[in-house]
Amino acid sequence: MSTTATLDRERVRQLFDLRSSYNVHMGGGYREDPYPVWHRLREQAPVHPGIVHELTGFDGPAMFSGLPYPDRPHFSAFSYAACDAAYRDPEVFASAAGPVDPNNGPYGATNSMLSMGGRQHRRYRGLVQPSFVPGKAKWWISNWIEETVDLLIDGFVDAGRAELNVDFCAAIPVLTITSSFGVPVDQALDIRAALTRPDEIVRMLEPIVAARRADPQDDLISILVQAEMTDENGVTHRLTDAEIYSFSVLLLTAGSGTTWKQMGITLTALLQHPEALAAVRADRSLLRLAIEESLRWSPTDPMFSRWVTEDVDFFGVHMPAGSVLHLCIGAANRDPARWDRPDEYDITRALRPSFAFGGGAHVCLGMHVARAEMRVGIGALLDRLPDLRLDPDREAPRFIGMYERGATEIPVVFG
């Protein structure tokens, strides 16, 4: 079945436009470069009272992790050291305000493994992690990623020009994830459109989960229904249907948005730095470095939040129990105390871990799949589109957004 024949491109554009009503809710209306302000804030102090977007000077709608909660004190960390310290102390800086139980609804990222802590988080992560370790990347690539990438390129390879952000980058993660669920391509966009209505996603997944329990296949849902782990008491655990639905909604929410935008950021960075693009084209092993540098230089989700569980003095600021600490990892990833020339996109930079995928016990579960999607996608573009370059007759891509940053359209010509 041809992906390009069944994918409604106009609907893709509506769903994945950073300026759409869905993305504007997360600060998609922000058009400026936040990094100069974040540099100034970090130089003034590693931690400030207040919320990242307000401290940045943006007064538009900007909801994300740990927001809005107007009844709680809010603080924001901007240095690498402060973010690192918070990630390393999950007892004081918890991932949720209270207990999490996916079996007791509602379905969604805030009631999933993402918000769990301690033993509960270790148990859930242990059940699902085997499908997301580095060694499993080839399984994802050969089963879904390569075919999706090739079919998308087939749709524009003969045209000599394309818009790569929405028509290419945006489609890859959502098709990869839904295909791994066993969802037909023509329903993939229905699932993406229902992200704010997770009960609709669950209704689409219910028959698939039931079918895989009866007859497992070579896909992710089959692995989840069969996953087993024995705890320290010798008790064997399996995921319930509700837990599978909760994890699936989390994977769709986190994976179908972040990888798309990060791939677009990486492509834009390469196209705007022709010397780096030429180097990657000549030596494909440099593509890994180009991706890692884009993750450091401009992470698509530049802020995450933690809940303060006890009174604490943290980098010169007193935070009472019940506060919310926002970790501005975008600022941390450009901290000159850790990186020389941090504002430069430099693929020759020596690799040092950044916070693009978070940190601590909650480091992104799907980061190896995301890296594989970006590596295969960008590599295929360079293989199949000779002399790939920005279209000089179209507006150049810009980075926009507050808590979900990404590129606008990426118009290119080739051949």
Hey, where are the domains in the chain? 3-413
Instruction: Using the predicted structure, report yes or no on whether residue 7 has a pLDDT greater than 70.
Output: no
Give the whole-angstrom CA distance, residue 402 versus residue 283.
Answer: 34
pLDDT digits (tens, 9 = 90+) for 68-120: 999 999 999 999 999 999 999 999 999 988 888 888 878 877 778 878 888 88
Instruction: Using the predicted structure, report yes or no on whether residue 3 has a pLDDT greater than 60.
Output: no
Q: Which CATH architecture has domain 3-413?
A: Orthogonal Bundle (1.10)
Instruction: Using the predicted structure, report yes or no on whether residue 309 has a pLDDT greater than 60.
Output: yes
Indicate the range of 61-65, 94-98, 191-195, 292-296 predicted with least confidence: 191-195
| Model pLDDT, residue 122 | 83
DSSP per-residue codes, 192-215 = HHTTT-HHHHHHHHHHHHHHHHHS
Instruction: Using the predicted structure, report yes or no on whether residue 5 has a pLDDT greater than 60.
Output: no
Query: Which two tokens mark 234?
Result: 């010798």
pLDDT digits (tens, 9 = 90+) for 25-82: 788 889 999 999 999 999 999 999 999 999 999 998 898 989 999 999 999 999 999 9
| Model pLDDT, residue 284 | 94
Place of tokens 């087993």: 228
pLDDT: is 2 or 136 the higher one? 136
pLDDT digits (tens, 9 = 90+) for 385-405: 999 999 999 999 999 999 999
Instruction: Using the predicted structure, report yes or no on whether residue 180 has a pLDDT greater than 80.
Output: yes
| Model pLDDT, residue 1 | 41
Instruction: Using the predicted structure, report yes or no on whether residue 10 has a pLDDT greater than 80.
Output: no
Please report, rounded to a whole number, the percentage of residues in the chain having pLDDT higher than 90: 64
Indicate the range of 4-13, 203-212, 361-370 predicted with least confidence: 4-13
Instruction: Using the predicted structure, report yes or no on whether residue 17 has a pLDDT greater than 80.
Output: no
pLDDT digits (tens, 9 = 90+) for 223-276: 999 988 777 777 888 889 998 998 888 888 887 778 999 999 999 999 999 999
DSSP per-residue codes, 334-367 = T-TTTSSSTTS--TTSPP---STT--GGGS-TTH
In the predicted model, what is the mean pLDDT of the chain? 90
Total-model pTM: 0.92
Q: Which element (helix H / strand E) includes 190?
A: helix 185-193
Confidence of residue 154 (pLDDT cuts 50, 70, 90): very high
| Model pLDDT, residue 272 | 97
Spatial neighbors of 376 by CB under 8 A, at least 6 apart, are 141, 145, 146, 149
Provide the greatest CA pair distance for the chain: 65
Give the whole-angstrom CA distance, residue 247 versus residue 111.
Answer: 9
Instruction: Using the predicted structure, report yes or no on whether residue 18 has a pLDDT greater than 90.
Output: no
| Model pLDDT, residue 4 | 43
In 3-state terms, what secondary structure has residue 244?
A: helix
Query: Which two tokens mark 130?
Result: 């085997």
pLDDT: is 335 or 114 the higher one? 335
